[in-house]
Structure 1
Amino acid sequence: MTLNTRLKKYLGHQFLLWVGGAFIFTAFISLVFDMSEIAQTNSNKEAFNFFNIALISLMRLPNLLNETLPFVFLFGTIGFFTKMRNSNELIIARASGISVWQFLAPGLAATLLVGSCFMMLWQPISSYLYMQSEQYKESKFYEKNNQLKISQNGLWLRENTKDGFYILHAESVSETNPIQIGNPVVMQFNNQNQLISRATAKSGILGFQNWHLKNVLVQEETLETFQKDSIYIPTKFKTDQIVDNFQAPSSISFWDLHDFINISEASGLPVKKYEMYFHLLLARPLLMVAMVLIAATFGLKHARSGGHISGVVLSVISGFLLFIFAEFMKTLGELAMLSPPLAAWTPGVIASLLGITLLLHREDG
């Protein structure tokens, strides 16, 4: 084994060790804060106890770590350079003629590898666990007589009435205010679960405590049919309740997202936030590389000049500025003000190019 190969293995091992430590620390902090949040919002529920809170938080934890992964690599890289500086290994390596790219290559390769594994393996597992946590939380803390589900097949709604209940299905549903539905079908049942009427409409809108259906064909239990310009069906659901039930992008596996987007788009469901999330997952390894380059830019500079604390502070500030910029671009993408690929990839590309430029300037003078 050559000295160069041995050095690369050593640097890669040290880098992953510090990133692993940052990952464990971030996981612990995320778990504590998430448990506190769940406890505060559900402390008055009958099923409130430590076991339920801890189980829900543990199932949600992998999904939370997906969002904090770039910061894991930022703090891990800061710790890596701090260790290299304190043991004088960084100074010795630089004095022996090892370039900054040779020094960073193992860490950058490890970042791309780990980022790709998280996207393809960790995210599908985390999305499944997140869905399980939501179902478990709902079963333990919420008791609902009325049921609502929004999926690729449109809107499904079951609501009780004084004489029974009705089921409403709409092929398409908007995420706007007021909620608009396309091709709704309403089936009325009595208290003996017998179908008493069926109404098919061209469109509908959620009004104040009612569904307003237009161009309606009504079929009674006697099989008599007649046409109505509009009908009103009482409801207790509000706009925010329906919008909140749109399936969260993070609850969908990376491997299922593309098909989900195509099916939802064909069904008339809004898909911008799902497209944005899909491209954010693709761009996440590059964003993680950008965080490593940011930490390296300031870490190498201040290792020479002796201002290590200022280097750490500048790295953290730059990392948070990049995060804010990425969130801003994400919002623009979800609002369709920018295309999702452009909004997702721009922060990582710009930060990486800036980091490479600064490191080239530092290396070559």
Structure 2
Amino acid sequence: MTLNTQLKKYLGQQFLIWIGGAFIFTTFISLIFDISEIAQTNSDQEAFHFLNIILLSLMRLPNLLNEILPFIFLFGAIGFFAKMRNSNELIIARASGVSVWQFLAPGLLATLLIGCLFIMLWQPISSYLYTQSQEFKESKFYETDNKLKISQNGLWLRENTKDGYYILHAKSISGTPPIQLGHPVIMVFDKQNQLVSRMSAEKAILSFQNWHLQDVLVQDVLVQDASLEISQKENVYMPTKFENDQIIDNFQSPTSISFWNLQEFIKVSEASGLPVNKYEMYFHLLLARPLLMAAMVLIAATFGLKHSRSGGFISGIVLSVICGFMLFIFAELMKTLGELAMLPPPMAAWTPGIMASLIGITLLLHREDG
């Protein structure tokens, strides 16, 4: 094994150790904050006790870490470069003729590989656990929120009423106000989960605090003999708390969908007439995540690879953190623009990582040549 190979192996090991430490520390802090939040918002529930809180938080934790993963690499890289600098290992490596790119290569390669594993393995697992956490929360804390989901069979909606709840299924939905459903079927249940009536209509229009069903076939269940009373009505009004602007916002969260299922979900949603900007944006954000993580490492390197004689060690750490947060804010702004269709999702998702990487490479080249 050559000296260069040994050095790369050592640098890669040290980089992973610091990233692992940042991951463990961030996981612990995130878990503590999430447990506190759940405890505060559910302390008045009948099923409130410590074990349920811990289980719920553990199921939510992987999804929470998805959002802060770039910061884990930022802080881990800052710690790695600080250690290399304070122990004079950076000076020794540079004095032996190792360029900044040779020094960075093991860490950047490890970052990109971890980013790919995140997309292929971590995100599907976190999306599954997030879905399970929502179901666990409803079963334990008796929260039966209104739901809106899409499948290959069309649109499914559940909404609570004062007498029970109803489940609405429609083959299609318009994505612009007023919301219109094609061939909706509504199953009405009482509080004992007993079917009360079934209604099928040609279409339904979302108006103020109700669904306006037109040309409706109503089948009421008679409790006495469990038979059906069938009638035809021109108009039926079903109460709802949904509004035109809210119905899409209550749609299935992108984070609850596996990366491997996102493309199929987008196709099904488009076929149903639903807007898919936020799902396309999330898909491209996942693809761009390894580059964003690598950009965070470059930001840390830009301020962490300065020679000791240049001073400003603490200021370098502060600047790294500030630049990392600025990149995060810029990425969130681009994400919002992509979800609102003001920018194409691929452009909105990839621009922050590309820009930050190019700026970091430019500054490192300037420092290396200077």
Q: Deviations over 1:193-225 (max 9, x none)?
A: 5675633132311422x22224x2435556554
Q: 2:149 touches 2:251 (CA, 8 Å); kept in 1?
A: yes
| Residue 58 (1) aligns with residue 41 (2) | no
Is 1:280–1:344's contact at 8 Å kept on the other side of the alignment?
Answer: yes
| Residue 305 (str. 1) matches residue 310 (str. 2) | yes
Give the CA deviation at 1:170. Answer: 2.3
Q: What one-letter code is carried by the residue in structure 1 that aligns with 2:150?
A: S
Superposed CA deviations along residues 139-196 of structure 1, whole A, max 9, x for unmatched, are 111254x86442222133365576x875432234467776543432235579995675
> CA deviation digits over 1:117-147, x for unaligned, max 9?
0111111111111111111011111254x86
1:203 aligns with 2:208: no
Q: Secondary structure at the match of 2:251?
A: coil
Give the 3-state SS of the residue equivalent to 2:306 in structure 1. helix
Shift of 1:301: 2.5
Residues 1:255 and 2:260 aligned together: yes
Contact 1:184 1:204 in 2 (8 A): no
Query: 1:246 and 1:308 mapped to 2: Cα distance?
Result: 47
Shift of 1:234: 2.8
Q: Is the 8 A contact 1:287 1:348 kept in 2?
A: yes
Aligned: 1:343 with 2:342 = no
SS of structure 2 residue aligned to 1:156: strand
Count of residues in correspondence between the two structures: 359
State the Cα distance separating 1:245 from its structure 2 match.
Answer: 3.8
Q: Distance in 1 between matches of 2:290 and 2:217?
A: 54
1:80 and 1:167 mapped to 2: Cα distance?
A: 54
Deviates more, 1:127-136 or 1:237-246: 237-246
Q: Which residue of structure 2 aligns with residue 43 of structure 1?
A: 43
Paired with 2:46 and 2:231, the residues of 1 have a C-alpha distance of 48
What residue identity is the alignment partner of 1:199?
A: S
AA matched with 1:154: L
Equivalent residue, structure 1, for 2:224: none
Which residue in 2 is equivalent to 1:234? 239
C-alpha distance in structure 1 between counterparts of 2:249 and 2:40, whole Å = 20
Change (3 A) 1:188 1:28: closer
The CA distance in 2 between the partners of 1:278 and 1:335, in whole Å, is 15
**For the residues of structure 2 that align with 1:150 and 1:212, how far apart are their CA atoms?**
20
RMSD: 2.5
Rounded to whole Å, the distance in 2 between the matches of 1:240 and 1:57 is: 30
- Give the corresponding residue for 2:80: 80
- Determine the structure 2 residue equivalent to 1:67: 67
- 1:113-262 maps to which residues of 2 (within 5 A)? 113-144=113-144, 148-152=147-151, 153-157=154-158, 159=160, 166-173=166-173, 179-187=179-187, 198-208=199-209, 210-214=210-214, 216-218=215-217, 225=232, 228=234, 230-235=235-240, 242-243=247-248, 245-262=250-267
Offset of residue 267 of structure 1 = 1.2
Letter in 1 for 2:366: H
The 10-residue stretch of structure 1 (180-189 or 89-98) with the greater mean CA deviation from structure 2: 180-189
Is residue 270 of structure 2 the alignment partner of residue 265 of structure 1? yes
State the partner residue of 1:23: 23
Aligned pairs for 1:286-305 (under 5 A) are 286-301=291-306, 303-305=308-310
| Partners of 2:56 and 2:137 within 8 A in 1 | yes
User: What letter is aligned with 1:151?
Assistant: I
Q: Which runs of 5+ in 2 are unaligned?
A: 220-227
Aligned amino acid, residue 133 of structure 1: S
| Residue 319 (structure 1) shift | 0.3
List per-residue Cα deviations over 1:72-113 (Å, max 9, x = no partner).
Answer: 110011000110011100011112221000000000000000
Could you tell me how far apart the structure 2 residues matched to 1:99 and 1:159 are? 64
Taking the aligned partners of 2:100 and 2:198, their CA distance within structure 1 comes to: 75
Report the secondary structure of 1:269's partner residue: coil
Task: Give the Cα separation in 1 of the matches to 2:138 and 2:195.
Answer: 29
State the SS of the aligned residue for 1:301: coil
DSSP 3-state at the match of 1:94: helix
> What SS does the corresponding residue of 2:289 show, helix, strand or coil?
helix
1:112–1:192 CA distance, 2 compared to 1 (3 A): closer
Residue 281 of structure 1, aligned match among 286, 291, 309? 286
Q: 1:96 corresponds to which residue?
A: 96
Q: Retained in 1: the 8 A contact 2:254–2:278?
A: yes
SS where residue 122 of structure 1 aligns?
Answer: helix
Q: CA deviation at 1:363?
A: 0.7
Aligned-pair identity (%): 69
Question: Structure 1 pair 62/37, CA: closer, same or farther in 2 (3 Å)?
Answer: same
1:179 and 1:205 in contact (8 A); partners too: yes
Whole-angstrom distance in 2 between the partners of 1:43 and 1:222: 45
Contact (CA 8 Å) 2:187, 2:195: kept in 1 or not? no
> Quick one: distance in 1 between partners of 2:72 and 2:138?
31
Contact 1:171–1:268 (8 Å) recurs in 2: no
